Structure 1
């Protein structure tokens, strides 16, 4: 099948090996807590030179699907081929120390937020959008989107709302209907709220990051946070689907119907602890935060909730410490086989830069079968100088096997596809 051939070529020809102790299937090797000091090491974003794109494996090419956006974050492809992109930015932290404020400015993380959803249309099918429309504006840090029936759901940072919508429309003027309020803000803002529909389109999953690094403000501040919520779209009834997920962002559904998510792990432990991860999500499951990580007790909670270790679920895939794994997309299943794409936004708190790429991992019958491998690279311009061209924040797999990659710092949506 086409997907199987794509993956075989990709994995066989990629010449960039990863350190399997930190990016692997199964429990990773890690430093002891505080083996190295915590650091602040924000990248400097310099943009992409004209004609330069991320690097893809042999047999693939990368084209600029759309540029000139305002901090694009998440993407939704509609049944008619139109593409929706949410555009929003982290709010400046008024209480940030000067070093942190300068780092956020250099890395283009904070500032003006467009707070809109843009519709991109490729009328001639060449892989480049040639029409652009503002579908929705005056939102509040929108991120996730989902289309269920004739309603478009949008996750603002403080609420999930919906609008009447049919593919083909290029603007929405109807007033929003609030589905649910959400706790806003959080540690390093942790403002993203992502959405994922269940296969039967009856349940909407909503990811909400923590309000803190490791619960330092008290767990009462973490109500309905560090979790994935689930809402019945018929009744509006909400339930907490899974907890102990420090900052789950990317979500998708495997071929067996299981929900998967990409999670940012905790900070201030050292360079090589603790790796971000990608995991299946079990209803009612607890994944450790803030008391433990990868089955080990966090010393900052040495005498708290130790009994939870026995019931804590250990993730399946380690994807590197401080790599900021934000995006996750699974390809269309073919005979139970899929490929998972993981966008690693890149570190800001590690001595040596990590992340700044897109990984790929094969799945069979809803489970990963080998270690993740590089898919798109070249986002780092100069490791020694700490410069980057852009930062991949989310991914979306298409029915034809190609992959959208949203590069927020470069204000660009890339399309990786088989060479032509």
Structure 2
């Protein structure tokens, strides 16, 4: 019968009996709670009353000597330090002895017990007063200091209620609005002073540029002035409110202008004066011819290549020839068709190749045909029997023809016969 530790401890606490007596009663009753209670009550009734030996009553709660010997003093002190006086030394020793000195298990068991109102330095509980049970808790000693009075809670000043909440709220709103107005006015005055200083240093810049410089530099006049000094290379794209500046790159502008002029030279038209030589009539004629032919290029290409423009030769001499040679002309359409059409002569030979095998298989049947003639001479000696035996050879002859039909050329053997 499985005996639970909690049940054993509960019966021990209720009836004040040793562990071995409780365990024996539980085993005898085979787990029946009513039978266990009856047996334990009978044991208690058969024993002398506890008042006869008050001094020995605490010994019932103390673990047996054999178990106590296995508990080390170090483990007892460790558990006593952890429980901080909530349990007496006897309770701690009892828990350690129950679990063979396992501190963690003894702590878990102690926490399941009601706390002892005693000091950890107390060796054993005081004897019970006369007329009381040995398990009663002893009252605290008279020498125990009384609880010190708790300090009074600090007295917080209660806020004075507002006389008129609406009036005060309006006053606060008005005060905030006035403060914001004063701050805006001061900021406006500061911006005007900064703008005046920048106007004196940069008289040719519009107010929008000066204001933008201040915005970019968080209203720092020194940084705004430096920003405008570094901005001398910028060209104005507009004045007044919303004016923007686009940074120009002279080198890039020159390159773009040169590219435009070269393109115009190839097309035969000039949009600006250039250092390149002026176009000649041939180039203009070439451009006009190109424009007239371009829409019909998909229909028919010009028979002769057009003359190259003078600008192209100059570009090749200056930058190197970049034109790649054209790929070779594609093969003729007839040659392309020849790749896709299946050649008939290659497909014709296979049927003749399959025809010869049947002739090779045909000779074996003729080889089997001569044996019947060889067997025919003996029957003629016997005139009457031959007619009766003559039908079987014809029956044997049909099987060879049965083998001949599988090959397509099965007709030749019958003619041979």
Larger Rg: 2
**TM-score between the two structures when normalised by the length of structure 2:** 0.15
- TM-score by structure 1 length? 0.15
